[in-house]
Structure 1
Amino acid sequence: MNHLTSVEIYIWNYLEENKTKVIQMTVAQIAESAHVSSSSIIRTLKKKNFSSFSEYKNTAKIKMNTNKWIHGLSESANQVVSETIEELLRTVRLLESENLAKVLENIYQADSVVVISRGLSVRIADSFARDLQFLDVKAVSLYQDNMQNYLSKLPENTFLVGLSLSGETELIVATALKAKREGKKVLAITGNYESRLAQQSDLSLFAYQKKASGKIPVDYNNMLPLELIIHLLVQLYTEYKEQGRIV
């Protein structure tokens, strides 16, 4: 079982966000800097399919030296491209096969799928619901203030998907909690693994949430990892319907 605990997610994010520094450090030094144990770091890396810390460091060094993605671009422009690709790769690395399989199973078995969102996430939620409809799933996207009233009219076997970058949007959190009380299964897709939405959901998929660059509003900047997760779910659902499994 490769499910990461909240501590292990913290460790993994710490390693990835401090890669330049980490490849120059020992496990003991990282443990002291991150305020975790050395054994927790090794356990996290094994769950991410690294046989040792040395293998992780060597892989990181290779990837850091392969950052000129588009020939002819300036160094700073290629850095933008590199950071965008790394953002997506970090999101993929946070995904786990068992969680993905359970999500797809719930979508397949549900009488209906409801995707709730607010603000900048609405466009992504609408796209997700529409794509599921094309795959013969009864899906709807809700972003209105009265979403809780609509939810009460749906059957118990409704799978609720809460799409929130922060995981702290009040209406999303309240609606997810109400769905849980009514016996519905809840999935959180968020960039905050410590959020209330993630903590009270049955399943969670985490997007890497980068720090604000100062050039683009952070919420807008972080939509791409959420879109990647939605895209992967749609593509994997097609595979699930055809094969009956993805693991």
Structure 2
Amino acid sequence: MEPLNEISEVVRWLSAERANRGLARIELAAALKYQGEIHDDTLILTAPDGALSFGTLPEPQRAQVQALLRQHHAEQPARGNVELSVVCDATPVPRIQLTDELQRQRAEQTQARAEASFDTRPYGRALAQRVAEILDAGGELSITVDPREGVLRALWKSGDGTYAHGLRYAQGDSKPSVTLASREEFIRWLADRSDEVFAKEDRPDNPLVWGHGTFNRAYFARKTGQRA
């Protein structure tokens, strides 16, 4: 199979989709994680205003990409992981300016989020101990971050006895942002945190995402059956 280029069926299809949807950018990423397993091809669509949406390739284009991945892996098996990225942005798209009303609404939303207040009180040891008991019993606490992509923010205890806070994915993968070696370390860590710390930790400079898909005192109260 020929390498992908500007006249390949997949690239021509991507270019047409970009033009038909009025997008500033359209990107395809596919990966062969290891021999015998090909992950779903994910299509990332970027609108002129910067919003992202996700989709999958139609079957004919998916077959072409998967065949290319298999061939690439066969030719260079020593490389292990194989990744293919196609970015289709053949011609510049005219910049679409937001109307005055949309600009005003966005500015108001940003200001509102920036002024949002979150509880700054540390959770304390008692709450942290109750959460630890749930994890010790094999439970997991999680909040949905992106339902379309199956992304969860979670607290969990791993098989090696460590405690973790980070992202979990529907396919079973995990991406810890914090790992604590013992129960006592986990309790001290959680006891010192607060709603404000959780709300702003990922992107402290972007008020629009503060508190989205993050833990808070009310959530822990519901899960532990205790008052906040």
TM-score calculated relative to the size of structure 1: 0.23
